[in-house]
Amino acid sequence: MEKKFTASTAPTEEQLLYAKILQWGMLIGLLCLFVTFAIYVLGIMDPYIPLDKISQYWGQSVHNYLVKAEIEDGWYWVSMLKYGDFLNFIGIALLAGITIICYLAIVPTLLKNGDTVYAVLALLEVIILTVAASGIISVGGH
Amino acid sequence: MAKKILILIAIIKGGISMRRLFPAFLFTLFIIFTFSTASFAAGGGVDLEAVPVDSHAWWFWPLILLVVTFVMGVVAVLAGVGGGVLFVPIISGFFPFHLDFVRGAGLLVALAGALAAGPGLLKLNLASLRLAIPVALIASTCAILGAMIGLALPTDVIQISLGATILGICILMLTVKKSEIPDVPQADKLASVLKIYGVYREESTGEKINWTVHRTPMGMGLFVLIGIMAGMFGLGAGWANVPVLNLLMGAPLKISVATSKFLLSITDTSAAWIYMNQGCVIPMMVVPSLVGIMLGSFVGVRVLKIAKPTFIRWMVIGILAFAGLKALSKGLGF
């Protein structure tokens, strides 16, 4: 069995950096999600869809939900942050966005170590995730 | 969370005894079936687009969701599966929520679990960034495609495909064996170019294990399918990641399980954004599910000490098979 390995069991520099940012991002995202949800259910901020009406929407397809509740897709939620229900999207966006930041953060380390292939792969991943997050990809409703 | 994964890996290898959870689980199932039947009688069921007439207070279903996802979190740990793979079939089968929102919530549940476990696994050097980055690029790109397909197709088609996929997962769980340290005579060319290798310490023996992978192009090819299915059904994809990494590519079981868990944080991120941007996220469903699964996972790790995982695993396969058949019947309009 011919293998060429680094002798160390320690994680690489970029792996540790990724882990550190991921940890903080995850903690902040979850905390934010729980706090905003408490604000929502405790009625500290009024929701866009009243709590007693929400069950009228969750059984419908997303297309019907958006039409009947007069909600737009994409980043429309940012303009609705004055409502308690939409406030929750901050935490969700943080959780869904932290991976992009992790990838961006390790690129300089990869380049510094001469790992150009992985730096390119990391940047490609950033592009893919950013495109997904941007909302420019539209899907035909059903 | 990383500790939980380690315990999980340990129980995959051997058995621990327990039967006490069975009555509790049956009781929870009884609750789900009772309330889901009430829901269908109230107007859900055959017509997927019909608005269910729900006379319950607004907090009723979120509370049931919290309880059920808590149990799901416990059982997922005991059965050695991800919460996402249980969430979508069970919640879409027995709750009055539309599949669009269940898939959105399912992805976020799987994503949160992966984000929570990721840092610890990376620090322990069990999850390998070098192994994850190339396959994650393929899987996350294809997950976008899968999400687009999943949201464009009619709901009944998705229900049928979901049912078939869940039944396929059951067969996979029944038939696929795991290999603790597969024999990889030599890394293939692509793995050598990408320098996919590593060393980890096996805590039980204190031994240093060198590992690398082979059949990398074939493995990457399979991640195209895995990504599409993850995005299409919002299932998470640990059930597929681990066999491909472990059995096909030859990564050690510990590395495969840990890297798979970390991989979900990237694959599910891309699909989750698509679902979120399409409006498939209702916080009143997402947050109770997240809290339930996470609390359940923490309890599950403690229950593991007295649990008999083989028994629980059989039970989960049975429940998944039932949920898969239910998804099929819903899709076919029975």
Residue of chain B whose Cα is closest to the Cα of A19 = B119
- Cβ-based contacts of B185 with chain A (< 8 Å): 1-2
Per the prediction, chain B carries an average pLDDT of: 83
Average pLDDT over residues A127-137: 94
Q: Computed from CA positions of residues B86, B79, B179, B169, in that sequence, does the dihedral angle turn out positive or negative?
A: negative
Residue of chain A whose Cα is closest to the Cα of B44 = A59
Q: Can you tell me whether residue B18 is helix, strand or coil?
A: coil
- Cβ-based contacts of B154 with chain A (< 8 Å): 142
CB contact under 8 A, A132 and B270: yes
Query: Which residues have C-beta within 8 Å of that of residue A50, sequence separation ≥ 6?
Result: none
**Of the candidates B128, B154, B277, which has its C-beta nearest A135's C-beta?**
B277
End-to-end C-alpha distance for chain B, whole angstroms: 41
Residue of chain A whose Cα is closest to the Cα of B115 = A26
pLDDT at position B309 over 50:
yes
**Which tens digits make up the pLDDT trace of B121-141?**
999 999 999 999 999 999 999
| Residue B117 contacts residue B262 (beta carbons within 8 Å) | yes
Comparing CA positions, the residue from B234, B5, B222, B20 lying closest to residue B106 is: B234
Confidence of residue B299 (pLDDT cuts 50, 70, 90): confident
- Cβ-based contacts of B115 with chain A (< 8 Å): 22, 25-26, 29, 95, 98
CB contact under 8 A, A95 and B148: no
Residue of chain A whose Cα is closest to the Cα of B273 = A133
- Provide the pLDDT for residue B5: 56
Instruction: Give the whole-angstrom CA distance, residue B232 versus residue A33.
Output: 25
Confidence of residue B11 (pLDDT cuts 50, 70, 90): very low
Average pLDDT over residues B308-332: 85
Return the residue in A21, A30, A54 with the most chain B beta carbons within 10 A, the one to mutate for interface testing.
A54
- Cβ-based contacts of A137 with chain B (< 8 Å): 144, 148, 274, 277
pLDDT at position B263 over 90:
yes
CB contact under 8 A, B184 and A56: no
Confidence of residue A3 (pLDDT cuts 50, 70, 90): very low
* A·B CB contacts under 8 A: 220
In single-letter form, the type of residue at position B159 comes to: Q
Q: Can you tell me whether residue B181 is helix, strand or coil?
A: coil
CB atoms within 10 A of CB A123: 15
Token representation of residue A3: 């293998």
Q: Of A84-98, B193-207, B234-248, B307-321, where does mean pLDDT reach its minimum?
A: B307-321
Comparing CA positions, the residue from A11, A3, A16 lying closest to residue B210 is: A3
Determine if residue A78 is left, alpha or beta; phi over 0 gives left, psi from -120 to 50 gives alpha, anything else beta.
alpha
**Of the candidates A98, A122, A133, which has its C-beta nearest B115's C-beta?**
A98
Query: Which residues have C-beta within 8 Å of that of residue A114, sequence separation ≥ 6?
Result: none
Instruction: Give the whole-angstrom CA distance, residue B191 versus residue B133.
Output: 12
- Provide the pLDDT for residue B6: 56
* Closest approach of A38 to chain B, Cα-based (Å): 10
CB contact under 8 A, A142 and B151: yes
pLDDT at position B194 over 90:
yes
CA angle B307, B32, B314 (to 5 degrees): 35
What's B116-131 look like in SS3?
Answer: HHHHHHHHCCCCCHHH
DSSP code of residue B255 = H
- Provide the pLDDT for residue B177: 80
| Residue B184 contacts residue B252 (beta carbons within 8 Å) | no
Confidence of residue B13 (pLDDT cuts 50, 70, 90): very low
Q: Where are the beta strands (DSSP E) in A2-141?
A: none
Confidence of residue B229 (pLDDT cuts 50, 70, 90): very high
Q: Computed from CA positions of residues B217, B221, B224, B230, in that sequence, does the dihedral angle turn out positive or negative?
A: negative
pLDDT at position A113 over 60:
yes
φ/ψ (deg, to 5) at B211? -140, 155
Query: Which residues have C-beta within 8 Å of that of residue A122, sequence separation ≥ 6?
Result: A103, A104, A106, A107, A110, B133
- Cβ-based contacts of B59 with chain A (< 8 Å): 41, 51
- Cβ-based contacts of A98 with chain B (< 8 Å): 115
Token representation of residue B60: 């009723």
End-to-end C-alpha distance for chain A, whole angstroms: 54
CB contact under 8 A, B276 and A59: no
pLDDT at position B311 over 90:
no
Residue of chain A whose Cα is closest to the Cα of B58 = A52
Q: Which residue has the tokens 């069975």?
A: B22
In single-letter form, the type of residue at position A79 comes to: S
**Of the candidates A55, A89, A95, which has its C-beta nearest B111's C-beta?**
A95
**Which tens digits make up the pLDDT trace of A67-102?**
999 999 999 999 999 999 999 999 999 999 999 999
CB atoms within 10 A of CB B157: 14
Extents of the domains making up chain B: 2-332
* Closest approach of A25 to chain B, Cα-based (Å): 9
| Residue A45 contacts residue A36 (beta carbons within 8 Å) | no
CB atoms within 10 A of CB B325: 16
Return the residue in A2, A12, A15, A36 with the most chain B beta carbons within 10 A, the one to mutate for interface testing.
A15
φ/ψ (deg, to 5) at B220? -65, -35
**Which tens digits make up the pLDDT trace of B25-63?**
555 555 554 554 444 433 333 344 445 567 788 899 999
pLDDT at position B17 over 50:
no
pLDDT at position B327 over 50:
yes
CA atoms in the 13 A half-sphere facing the CB of B85: 29
Q: Which residue has the tokens 């959780």?
A: A95
Confidence of residue B312 (pLDDT cuts 50, 70, 90): confident
Question: What is the length of chain B?
Answer: 334
**Of the candidates B44, B52, B123, which has its C-beta nearest A11's C-beta?**
B123
CB atoms within 10 A of CB B208: 13
Query: Which residues have C-beta within 8 Å of that of residue A68, sequence separation ≥ 6?
Result: A57, A60
| Residue B236 contacts residue B230 (beta carbons within 8 Å) | yes
Q: Name the pTM for this structure.
A: 0.85
Query: Which residues have C-beta within 8 Å of that of residue B30, sequence separation ≥ 6?
Result: none
CA B204 to chain centre: 27
